[in-house]
Structure formats: C-alpha cells, structure tokens
Amino acid sequence: MTARGAVFLDRDGTVTEPRHYPADPGDLVLQPGVGPALRRLQDQGRSLVLVTNQSGLARGLFSPRTLDAMHRHLRTLLMAYGVHLDGIYVCPHHPDGSIDGLSFRCACRKPRAGLLLAAAEELDIDLASSWMVGDFRSDIEAGLRVGCRTAWVGPNSATGTGPPGVEPTLRTATVAEALHHIARLRS
C-alpha cells in the first residue's frame, strides 16, 4: 500500500461550530458546507483524519464515554454526506487538569505534533502531501512541525499571528472555502 495524502482536521471551530467545552453530542453541529467539501476530498482519495485537543477530559468536564458518544454523533452527521473519517485522534491531556493520569504536559497536545505523527504512522499517510486545517495557531504550528501544508480558517485567520515561521499556506474566512481550495489543488 502506498502512503497517501490526508486532510487533518481540527474538530471544534473547524469541522463543527465553535462551542466552549462541548460536553454533549447535540453540541456538535457541522460548519456550513463542510459535508460536501469533505466528500469531494474523500472522493479524490484523501484520508480524512480528525485531530483534536479535548482538555475537557483532563478537567473533568466530561467522561471518555461522553466523548465517544460525541464522536459517534459526528460520524453520523458526516455519513449523511457519505463522508467517512479514516481516524479520530484525541489528546485528553492538560497540565492544569484535575483528573489523575491526564494532568500533565504531553507530546500529543497541539501545537505539538504527536496526534499527526501517530495518525501518519498508523494510517500510512504521506505528511508532505497532506494538509492541516484548523481555526487556531496551535493547529497551524502542529501541521508545520510535521511538514504539512496548512489552512488557518475562521475569524482568527485574518488577524492571527504566530511566532516567526508560523505562517499558514492558506487563510480563509470559512472552512468550506479552505476545503474547496485544497480539493482544487489535488495534491
């Protein structure tokens, strides 16, 4: 099997509408136009991989069971468009958390690259032909650390700045616009 390109996607504020610590499956609502745009990328043969920081677990705001239910709900929402996620990678850690075993500085919390590296290894992804799409600088930093092209989406993309060298490949006001741009590039 030959490695293929992927589109790594942040969850909250990227695939789904922004919510502060969503803790119920019903809190997850797809961003406008995301379903059809993801379907087009999937039809082109790209892997679609969710990579999400979920410090609500470390903070005790919701349980792993609730997070699993949320991701089942998200998969159902996407299946309405014929979209299948190749993987969901979650960082449950946060150094300020209150749950034993989750309250530490890890290698997987974006902007670190652990989630993307794990997905690339497990799913045979070619990072150089992949994209990281997200609504925060930490998403862009994670993508750049592994050699992906990056798309910074949403209101922060217009004014957000990062440390030197943290400049996204693409900035767009909407997620759908970024996904359509990536699909047009086809590589």
The string over 97-108, giving b where at least 16 C-beta atoms fall within 10 Å of a residue's C-beta and e elsewhere, is beeeebbeeeeb
Q: Which of 10, 24, 27, 43 is catalytic?
A: 10
- Residue 10 annotated in active site: yes
The closest of 16, 11, 13, 30 to 90, measured between CA atoms, is 11
Q: Is 148 annotated as a binding residue?
A: no
Query: What are the angstrom distances between the C-alpha of 158 and each of 25, 109, 136, 154, 163?
Result: 30, 24, 11, 8, 16
Helices (H) then strands (E): counts for the chain:
6, 6
Q: In what order do the strands lie in the sheet with 170-172?
A: 87-91, 47-53, 6-9, 131-134, 149-153, 170-172
Q: Is 126 annotated as a binding residue?
A: no
Q: How many CB atoms lie within 10 A of CB 47?
A: 23
What residue numbers does the annotated binding site cover? 10, 12, 91, 93, 106, 108, 135
**Catalytic annotation, residues:** 10, 12
What residue numbers does the annotated binding site for Zn(2+) cover? 91, 93, 106, 108
